[in-house]
Structure 1
Amino acid sequence: MPAEDAIMPTGSAFISQHLPGFKHMRVPNRWLILGLAGSWGLILLASSTEGRRTKITGICFLGAVTLLNLPNIPRKLKYDISQREQFHRIERDFIGDLSRGVLEGEKVAFLPWGNDFLVNYAAARLKIATYNIGGDKNLIMARKHWPLSMRQFQKERPRGDILMEEFPEGTANPNTLINIAYLLETEDADAVVLPYVDLLWAAHGWPAPLKLRNNITPILEALEGYESIKVSNYDYYSTIRLSSKSSKGATKEIVKKIGAPLVSLPIFTEGWYGYEHNKNSKWRWSSGNSELLILSYDTGPIEVEVSFSIQSISERELRITGPSEELLFHSDNLRETVHVKIPRLVLKPGVNSLTFNTSTPPPEHPSDSRKLAFRVIDFSTYEVERSPLNTSQ
């Protein structure tokens, strides 16, 4: 509710602003819970006294609190019956359908990931292990422990442009195909589930619209053309698996067929803030010491050319080291934008890291609460021998 529509101030603004704990209360109606807890304390205090008048006051207070918190019983009963019916429909429709595509004890990745509230119930009900979880704070904690193969999928639902890069409508993003194959080939997942419903809002209202189907279909159609990949379609989702346990080389098969680079897009891990861009450039800010990872899908060493620009908020010392801890860049007084070009960086198969180390703490910034040390702009890799430019932030 806009502040100007309020009849009078309640005083809660002052408390929320100045008292520890209260200012971090995200949902304002939690004041009601605090009020009820305080009322219960007063009732207990009144009941424990010997004075008859005080006890009568406590009983009246109890009656008033109870009366004020009674719901509209007919409407509440109707709502609860509706919720129970929806729960049984989820069990029959979605859980029943999901049980046909995944097996007990399997590791399952649901993509694209998000605040996947329905997975909390589905995983427990079907006895599967999954990286996905519902609850925004739970998700933040879980992502810190995801394997690199899962962290490659960096676009979260349900923002406005949720799937425009990794799961665009009408076309299959080559990097998404590669990342799915790599997730399966590393055995970090036995199966990938691509649901057609939003797993957050489907838990709040069923039946749920199949609004993600148009984003999922191009991926399925593209992967059906590979011998090493098995796609199975169901009513509310599709599954992707390796066609057999021995289907190694699935990632390289896809890379070669679509003519993509044999190296992944950069994966920004600890120390980086979110992706930002304008019409000319894209970048990520770092809070200080940080790491950037590149995956090589080849079976042997590969040489790539790496280029990017780097800029610091204030003058700082910065060192960048490569996968073998070789020094790639060093500056004692980085401030203005500097272009960095590494003509021949050797990557081994699998995970390769570029480490950014600085001994200078980030300065205070009056218009931004983040700790901004430096930013990496337009990071790109180019395979020296064969492939076109691969750029992303």
Structure 2
Amino acid sequence: MNEADGTTFYRVSFGLLAAMALFFALFVNGALPGLMVPTTGQAIWMLGFAQSFANGLSIYATNFGLPSPAPISFGLAAALPTALFLKIGIPPADAYSLTFAIWFGVAFYGAFRFVRLLGGRSGISLLCALLWLTAPVIWVHADYSMTSLGIALLPAYFCTALQLIYYERNLPSFILFIAAALSAVFMDGYSFMMFACATAVLLAVAFALRSVKRTELLCKTFPLVAAGFAVSYFLYKNYVGKAIFEKDDLDLFRAFGANIEFFFLPTRGILWLADLFDFSAIREENNYFGDASVLCASFALVSVVAGAYALATKSSDARLKATFLLVAVFGFYMALGPSFKLNVLKPDGVGVSMPLQYAPWRTGTEWLSYLPGFSNMRASYRWVALGMFGAWALLVLHVASRRAQSGVTIAVILAGIAFNIPAPGVMTANVDSEQAIDGIDRYIENLRPIFQPGEKVAFLPFRNDFFVNYMASKLNISTYNVGGDKNLTIAMENWPDTMLAFEIGKASPDFGKKVLWLLAQKDVDVAAIPYIDLLWAAHQWPYPPQYFDEMQPYIEEIRSSGMVDISDTENFTFVRLKPDFRRLSSGKLSALAATHFCKDGVSLSLSAPLKFSDAGAVCGNGWAEPEDWGRWIIGKHATLHYHLPADSERSVLEFDAQGFVGGNLTDQKIGVSINGKKSDGWEFTIASPREIERLELPQGVDTLHLDFFIPEAKSPKDAGVSSDLRPLGLGIIAMCLTKADESCLQH
């Protein structure tokens, strides 16, 4: 079949071959609507955003991550078409799979066009595109959702840069480049950085080796490229609300760097032919730093062999050959992380991170982890995708330099495609994912009668709650919870004090009290107490109710207040205020809750200090969990309730207190009231952050209700002190009831 003849037979035949190649690529990647879904957990996470987008006709999720509308931290480019499919009634599993099929189609065409741009003929271009789309580094990252799409699209992205820099510096080329940069930044941050780095290498080599066009490159091309990436970055920053998240510890960069042997020998259970011919290694995740993705996604031997084969032959463009070689070397080197590791195992008792003491040799790349963009690429091994792209591009340049391909070249490509085929267990998991998502969808639909549309719900204790994304959006309720570590960080910055009082993933002794306080302050309508882990239930459905026994004492404690109605289901308990109590003010409800939990308050004895590090020292709302030194107030208001001895004389309360000052917070003023009457205020400064404060008590009372008001409470993060998101202002170390003319506490 000669592509030059342009006959209808050729076009139809080529179209059929292209369709077959694309179908095979979609099969390998598990993106066949109605049959397969590439993953479960990340699909549920993204479907939650997509369903919320569809509910509110917005690019922000309004069902979770309250109080502010929640941006999706990555993958907007895939979530929006998924939202459209959900809106028109396509089932969630099929909507997700269809979106991925479309984007993989774009990636396949982009890889095909990349080969054609360099001069490859149609048939060999199809084979090269298929070799790229079946690369394990793409489909292994399906568990990280749109990261796999971002990697798959690298040739399509780079094709636009190559067109703009090397071939046609015109408006259509610039528009395509802008579209690629926008797609990259709103698809996945890792591939955006890879695209930017590869483009920088392309520009640098062009500038160094094309002396006659340096002025044009410097004055015209470079500004266009810089503008494309800058506009994309600016739009992403404005959408998410921030572009730089907390920098991860360098120990994580080390841990998630690839061992050198991972490049050349795959892990057992990933590749079909490798397992069949016993060319794979059994690796246990617990024996290595990082996680399973490092072991499974770093294999690059096929690309390395293809690139080495291409390097050994002549190519038509030495400049591009140098460019692709530099891209490959840079990618593979960055994938090592800050340390060289060869057969390095994790010692017993060491966590996921890799301390410097276990690093044999440094690579010298650790300084990059302090730069914007690079600082959030903690999964160092993912740079292997850029290395593999560079090696694949070398092969593409080789085939594009020849009108007829040798048998060796065809054999290398076909062998690479065959070697890329996933193991049967991987394909079975994709079928299971489709069924699991359908099961989750049916389960959540059965919960619909429990809620009223628009009700505000808190799932407690909160975690990285992937499951909540889809549950809240499907039922069209609202919640503070959100799945995704970056989204959780963003949401917590605006949470009310009542939510921040809970510890992530932990039910503390005060859990029941905090649930009632949350309801009493009317920050939520429903408190949902899950028995399933809302992160892992989204990944492995159905999931066992592992927290059932742990949560029962707290539920009974809440039930005994008499203030709530409780609905029990297989995987959740839902708590609401009774109708009569909902009509009361927040202040009255808080007092009733305190009365229940503290009865008449903590009993005080004269000259007997209470340490606030002890759980029994505090009865009231607004307090953090005890620490070794004492405890903080969370937010701008807190209460304490005490019972005085019957024979107490005129007395005072002494507090060993500290104000949260530091960074950009120079002083802290505290308002105090006793039984509703304003008392003298306290003030703390950087010079005097800790003081012994005294409150003169009214005569003739046997109970005390203290209110603390901290108008300038601020999180240590906002103050520039640490990454702590809790709004702090006042901490109490100890308190003591004493006579007016005596002292009880000392620093």
RMSD: 4.8
Q: Secondary structure at the match of 1:209?
A: coil
- Partners of 1:113 and 1:132 within 8 A in 2: yes
Q: CA deviation at 1:56?
A: 9.6
1:29 and 1:327 map into 2 onto residues whose CA distance is 55
- Look up the equivalent residue of 1:322 and give its one-letter code: I
Is 2:377 aligned against 1:25? yes
Q: CA deviation at 1:259?
A: 2.4
Give the unaligned 5+ runs of structure 2: 1-254, 264-331, 339-362, 602-618, 642-651, 673-677, 699-703, 739-747
Is 2:680 aligned against 1:323? no
1:344 and 1:354 map into 2 onto residues whose CA distance is 23
Q: CA deviation at 1:6?
A: 5.7
- Given the alignment, which residue of 70, 74, 78 partners 2:428? 78
- Partners of 1:46 and 1:57 within 8 A in 2: no
- Partners of 2:457 and 2:524 within 8 A in 1: yes
Map Cα deviations across residues 332-367 of structure 1 (whole Å, 9 max, x no partner). 7459xx55324259999988216489xxxx999xxx
Is 2:539 aligned against 1:208? no
Q: How does 1:278-357 map to 2 (within 5 A)?
A: 278=628, 281-282=629-630, 293-296=636-639, 305=653, 307-310=655-658, 319-323=667-671, 328-330=682-684, 333-334=687-688, 338-343=690-695, 352-353=709-710, 355=712
Question: Could you say if the C-alpha distance between residues 2 and 354 of structure 1 is closer, same or farther in structure 2, counting changes exceeding 3 Å?
Answer: closer
Equivalent in the alignment of 1:272: none
Q: Which has the higher strand share?
A: 1
Q: Secondary structure at the match of 1:323?
A: strand
Question: Could you say if the C-alpha distance between residues 205 and 149 of structure 1 is closer, same or farther in structure 2, counting changes exceeding 3 Å?
Answer: same
Q: Which has the higher helix share?
A: 2
Map Cα deviations across residues 175-209 of structure 1 (whole Å, 9 max, x no partner). x3333233223332111111111111111212222
Is 2:391 aligned against 1:34? no
Name which structure has the greater RCO, CA cutoff 8 Å, separation 6+.
2
Q: Secondary structure at the match of 2:513?
A: helix
Q: Secondary structure at the match of 1:192?
A: strand
TM-score (norm 2): 0.38
Equivalent in the alignment of 1:123: 472
- Look up the equivalent residue of 1:118 and give its one-letter code: F
Equivalent in the alignment of 1:103: 452
1:293 and 1:24 map into 2 onto residues whose CA distance is 32
Q: Which has the larger radius of gyration?
A: 2
Equivalent in the alignment of 2:4: none
Equivalent in the alignment of 1:179: 514
- Partners of 1:104 and 1:126 within 8 A in 2: yes
- Partners of 1:15 and 1:23 within 8 A in 2: no
- Partners of 1:228 and 1:247 within 8 A in 2: no
Is 2:560 aligned against 1:225? yes
- Given the alignment, which residue of 583, 588, 593 partners 1:246? 583
- Given the alignment, which residue of 530, 534, 538 partners 1:199? 534
Question: Could you say if the C-alpha distance between residues 323 and 45 of structure 1 is closer, same or farther in structure 2, counting changes exceeding 3 Å?
Answer: farther
- Partners of 1:106 and 1:128 within 8 A in 2: yes
Is 2:612 aligned against 1:264? no
Question: Could you say if the C-alpha distance between residues 126 and 50 of structure 1 is closer, same or farther in structure 2, counting changes exceeding 3 Å?
Answer: same
- Aligned residue pairs: how many? 335
Equivalent in the alignment of 2:275: none
- Partners of 1:266 and 1:294 within 8 A in 2: no
Percentage identity across paired residues of the two chains: 24
1:318 and 1:266 map into 2 onto residues whose CA distance is 23
- Partners of 1:229 and 1:250 within 8 A in 2: no
TM-score (norm 1): 0.66
- Partners of 1:43 and 1:61 within 8 A in 2: no
- Partners of 1:177 and 1:254 within 8 A in 2: no
1:34 and 1:51 map into 2 onto residues whose CA distance is 25
1:282 and 1:89 map into 2 onto residues whose CA distance is 47
1:210 and 1:188 map into 2 onto residues whose CA distance is 27
- Partners of 2:661 and 2:668 within 8 A in 1: no
1:342 and 1:138 map into 2 onto residues whose CA distance is 43
2:578 and 2:405 map into 1 onto residues whose CA distance is 76
Q: Secondary structure at the match of 1:322?
A: strand
- Partners of 1:296 and 1:348 within 8 A in 2: yes
- Partners of 1:223 and 1:229 within 8 A in 2: yes
Equivalent in the alignment of 1:148: 497
Question: Could you say if the C-alpha distance between residues 187 and 257 of structure 1 is closer, same or farther in structure 2, counting changes exceeding 3 Å?
Answer: closer
Q: CA deviation at 1:221?
A: 1.5
Question: Could you say if the C-alpha distance between residues 35 and 98 of structure 1 is closer, same or farther in structure 2, counting changes exceeding 3 Å?
Answer: farther
- Look up the equivalent residue of 2:597 and give its one-letter code: I
Map Cα deviations across residues 110-151 of structure 1 (whole Å, 9 max, x no partner). 011111111111111111111001111111111111122222
- Partners of 1:117 and 1:133 within 8 A in 2: yes
2:463 and 2:256 map into 1 onto residues whose CA distance is 30
Question: Could you say if the C-alpha distance between residues 221 and 44 of structure 1 is closer, same or farther in structure 2, counting changes exceeding 3 Å?
Answer: same
Equivalent in the alignment of 1:287: none
2:659 and 2:547 map into 1 onto residues whose CA distance is 38
- Partners of 1:293 and 1:354 within 8 A in 2: yes
Question: Could you say if the C-alpha distance between residues 378 and 97 of structure 1 is closer, same or farther in structure 2, counting changes exceeding 3 Å?
Answer: farther
Give the unaligned 5+ runs of structure 1: 167-172, 268-274, 285-289, 299-303, 385-393
